[in-house]
Structure 1
Amino acid sequence: MTSLLAPRLAYFAAVARHEHVTRAAHELGVPQSTLSRAMVRLEQDLGVSLFARRGRTVALTTAGRTFLASAEKALAEIARAAGSVQQDADPAHGKVAFGFLHTLGPETVPGLIRAFRADHPGVRFSLVQNYGEAMLERLRAGELDLCLTSPLPDAPDLVARRLDEQRLRLVVPDDHRLAVRKRIRLAEAAEEVFVTLEPGYGLRRITDDLCAEAGFAPRVAFEGEEAETLRGLVAAGLGVALLPPPAVPRPGVVELTVTAPRAVREIGVAWLDGHPDTPPVAQFKRFLLSRRGRLIPEWHAPVQEPAAGPSAASAAEAGPAAESR
């Protein structure tokens, strides 16, 4: 019934407003005969009379007034929805629904949006932070236009493009035996207890894969949902972690460069294959692709003061046997 009624609501509302078929037809730009037949069919479909006819003029019946109130609300809602989607698609003032990993939120994403809006100041963003798999599901549901994720998805319904890579570091407590080091082979941490993200997170999968490549399976003591929480657990002496660099150096931990295996995670942008882009989404997608190799800001570890005492100094000055070059 709805599919039959919907196309005729605007016709009905115009006739009701003018109380005259000819004037309503002129406003709508349709032949009078077409409009008259549409009203007759509408009444037949409903099984009630909406108009009392007096020559060329018409007046609403009681049923017609009841139906008009709801028809006007429906038409107003349709007009509101049409205006909303048109505004979101406007090249200068439209909206981009953009998802990204929590670890990219403090520094990378704000910098990207600031740079993009230098040339597109009116474009609006709906921002969603989540872990990779959850964002991909929101892409598929049409809730996101684009997302920054890691690792890059390999799925037939998605398109992914590599933008950059981010080094991962072994994060240890500042009083840990390895804290005097600058570089380390991951295999040297095989006996350590790890704190990691929960299974299903991309960084957890990367951590497990890197440890496997180094010849061991990590002994996991704590699992979390956010990288900075893990860094706090490390600072509390509850384990070590493989993490991307922090936006701001965290006291209580030391960040070690991992020399082997190559500890990086790829960062890329993904979108739904075959999904048409609005102008603002297309503009932002082109901007992201133009940032290949320049997406992730460089991070420099703060200078760590070695712990006092001859043993620490000896370890810090040790040769290749103690520190992987």
Structure 2
Amino acid sequence: MSKEKDISVTRVTPGDADIEAGSWAALLAPRLAQFAAVARHEQITRAARDLAVPQSTVSRAMARLEADLGVPLLARHGRTVSLTPAGRVLARSVERALGEVERAAEAVRADADPAAGKVAFGFLHTMGPETVPGLIRRFRADHPRVRFSLVQSYGEDMMERMREGELDLCLTSPVPDAPDLVTRRLDEQRLHLVVPADHRLAGRKRVRLAEAAEEPFVTLEPGYGLRRLTEELCRQAGFRPQVAFEGEEAETLRGLVAAGLGVALLPPPAWPRPGVRELAVTAPRAVREIGVAWMAGHPDTQPVADFKRFLLRRRGSLLADTH
């Protein structure tokens, strides 16, 4: 019998044995960006297109990543995927880690060329259609080499993302009050009572909020600043709103109003929405403050510092001066 037949080979995978200190990063790093793309798109085909690599490459990378860790990260549903609980935990950490690498690279580039670089900028969904594009267009007229990473979300989520280093600054409402943040009030935005086109109040131009006390309301979900403001304004008007539907985006709420499912307090739309009427609220004074926030004591790259100054110069005209 040959010596080769006397030798038994045992294959040990990382999931089967302890990993030496520091070796997980070297083992997993090549596949983490691919995993992050799959997590964002929830589809391997789109992730591969985003990464400009073959779909088979991403599929193999995900299978190898799960084998290395010894846990399932993705649940397959035909052509789409979703994150398992373990996958969600990993995805959050991967996004933070990749963000740190991205910011480090941008900082190095900014040191070499202060006029270049990237601003990670968060803003409310309602500011996305017109306000933010107008601001960025005006800013880049004088800073054409600055790039932006844009995140649309609600206030509490953006504050957390800034604390985790994912955002440089954000436009939010209400203006937060926290010891680790620097905030500046920039503007205020009137809120309208939005009613269906065939509503009993639809023929009016102005209304007291108390006149809607018996109406069902459609609102943003708890945790959104506009939800808290809606509840506070209704309290000032002497009633507690009867919440019939909750959503995550203002235009979806307008659609629910158009369908006759309730009324809503919302900022003006980017463009007229058929099926609804926008009524000015005369009492109480229905406005929301818009402000900018960033982390206290956090050093800025030159592009971030320039963009902060640009926003602060638009105090009182932020919403009117973006078209």
1:110 aligns with 2:133: yes
The alpha-carbon deviation at position 92 of structure 1 amounts to: 1.3
Cα gap change, 1:262 to 1:84, in 2 (>3 Å): closer
2:93 corresponds to: none
1:129 corresponds to: 152
2:265 corresponds to: 242
Equivalent-residue separation in structure 1 for 2:231 and 2:305 (angstroms):
36
1:167 aligns with 2:190: yes
2:114 corresponds to: 91
Q: Aligned letter for 2:299?
A: P
Equivalent-residue separation in structure 2 for 1:116 and 1:292 (angstroms):
15
1:187 aligns with 2:241: no
Equivalent-residue separation in structure 2 for 1:298 and 1:168 (angstroms):
19
Q: Aligned letter for 2:155?
A: G
1:220 aligns with 2:220: no
Q: Aligned letter for 1:163?
A: L
Q: Secondary structure at the match of 1:294?
A: coil
The alpha-carbon deviation at position 91 of structure 1 amounts to: 2.5
Q: What are the ranges of 5 or more consecutive residues in structure 1 without an aligned counterpart?
A: 4-78, 300-325
The alignment's C-alpha RMSD in Å is 2.1
1:145 aligns with 2:161: no
2:280 corresponds to: 257
Cα gap change, 1:82 to 1:245, in 2 (>3 Å): closer
1:292 corresponds to: 315
Conserved 8 A contact 2:106-2:118:
no
Match of 1:100 among 107, 117, 123: 123
- Report which of the two structures shows the higher radius of gyration computed on alpha carbons: 1
1:210 aligns with 2:230: no
Equivalent-residue separation in structure 1 for 2:187 and 2:311 (angstroms):
11
Q: Secondary structure at the match of 1:118?
A: helix
Task: List per-residue Cα deviations over 1:241-289 (Å, max 9, x = no partner).
Answer: 0000010110000000000100000000000011111110000000000
Equivalent-residue separation in structure 2 for 1:218 and 1:143 (angstroms):
35
The alpha-carbon deviation at position 298 of structure 1 amounts to: 8.1
Q: What are the ranges of 5 or more consecutive residues in structure 2 without an aligned counterpart?
A: 1-19, 23-100
Cα gap change, 1:249 to 1:224, in 2 (>3 Å): same
The alpha-carbon deviation at position 80 of structure 1 amounts to: 9.9
Conserved 8 A contact 2:106-2:117:
no
- Give the stretch that moved more between structures: 83-92 or 128-137: 83-92
TM-score by length of 1: 0.66
The alpha-carbon deviation at position 184 of structure 1 amounts to: 0.4
Equivalent-residue separation in structure 1 for 2:314 and 2:119 (angstroms):
18
Cα gap change, 1:220 to 1:145, in 2 (>3 Å): same
Cα gap change, 1:192 to 1:83, in 2 (>3 Å): closer
Task: List per-residue Cα deviations over 1:31-75 (Å, max 9, x = no partner).
Answer: xxxxxxxxxxxxxxxxxxxxxxxxxxxxxxxxxxxxxxxxxxxxx
Q: Aligned letter for 2:108?
A: Q
| Aligned pairs (5 A) from 1:194-205 | 194-205=217-228
Q: Secondary structure at the match of 2:304?
A: helix
The alpha-carbon deviation at position 85 of structure 1 amounts to: 2.7
Q: Secondary structure at the match of 2:142?
A: coil
Task: List per-residue Cα deviations over 1:181-222 (Å, max 9, x = no partner).
Answer: 000000111011100000000000000000000000000000
Q: Aligned letter for 1:161?
A: R
2:301 corresponds to: 278
Equivalent-residue separation in structure 2 for 1:93 and 1:136 (angstroms):
26
Q: Aligned letter for 1:220?
A: V
The alpha-carbon deviation at position 297 of structure 1 amounts to: 2.8
Equivalent-residue separation in structure 1 for 2:173 and 2:118 (angstroms):
24
Q: Secondary structure at the match of 2:177?
A: coil
Paired residues, number? 224
Q: Aligned letter for 1:282?
A: A
Task: List per-residue Cα deviations over 1:133-190 (Å, max 9, x = no partner).
Answer: 0000001111100100000001100111000000000000000000000000001110
Cα gap change, 1:279 to 1:174, in 2 (>3 Å): same
Q: Secondary structure at the match of 2:257?
A: helix
Q: Secondary structure at the match of 2:300?
A: coil
